[in-house]
Amino acid sequence: MRHRVAHRKLGRTTSHRIALLRNLATALFERERIRTTLMKAKELRPYAEKLITLAKREENRLHSRRRVARDIQNPVVVRKLFDDLGARFAARPGGYTRILRLGPRQGDGAEMAIVELIGSEWKPEKKDDKGKKQAAKAAKAPAEAKPGKSEKPKQGARRSETPT
């Protein structure tokens, strides 16, 4: 029976699973968007959201920072979590992350997903911006190309014509 069993084991020992969740949470807060398996994403979500909730609390700021620092070992990421992400989610009562399913992985068929923080969505380029970037690349391409670099030697031609 599975009474009162809270989390997935993910095929790992307890210490390995905790280390996995800490590393995933650190990567999520650092990059604000990560790609992982669906089961890891579902386990990461409540773990990360509890850390964000600690970061946005105003009372006991030092104690909250130390509690988060137990799990997030990188001080730069802890600073970002408290300064940037805590302020971003200050008015939001919960639901700081989003899981987007990607489908099965090519190699082993594992369901893949993207976990991202709300507010860090991908914004596609506008068509006029894209045209400007392509024009800028096209303008740079001839200037950067070295003469003779794109020319391939003819088949059967010798590299050196001088006798040895």
Tokens describing residue 143: 């200037």
Q: Which residue has the higher pLDDT, 146 or 87?
A: 87
* Choice among 5-19, 55-69, 112-126, 127-141 with the minimum mean pLDDT: 127-141
Q: Is there a contact between 53 and 64 (Cβ–Cβ < 8 Å)?
A: no
- Ordered alpha helix ranges (H), 5-156: 14-31, 38-56, 61-71, 75-80, 86-88, 127-144
* Choice among 6-10, 12-16, 98-102 with the minimum mean pLDDT: 6-10
Tokens describing residue 60: 């006991």
Q: Which residue has the higher pLDDT, 101 or 147?
A: 101
Predicted confidence (pLDDT) per residue in 97-109, tens digit: 999 999 999 999 9
- pLDDT, residue 134, reads 64
Map residue 151 onto helix, strand or coil.
coil
Return d(Cα 62, Cα 49) in angstroms, integer: 19
Partners of 101 in beta bridges = 113
What does pTM read for this prediction? 0.71
pLDDT at position 110 over 70? yes
pLDDT at position 153 over 90? no
Predicted confidence (pLDDT) per residue in 64-88, tens digit: 999 999 999 999 999 999 999 988 9
* Ramachandran bin of 60, using left for φ above 0, alpha for ψ from -120 to 50, beta for the remaining angles: left
Question: 100: closest CA among 80, 124, 122?
Answer: 122
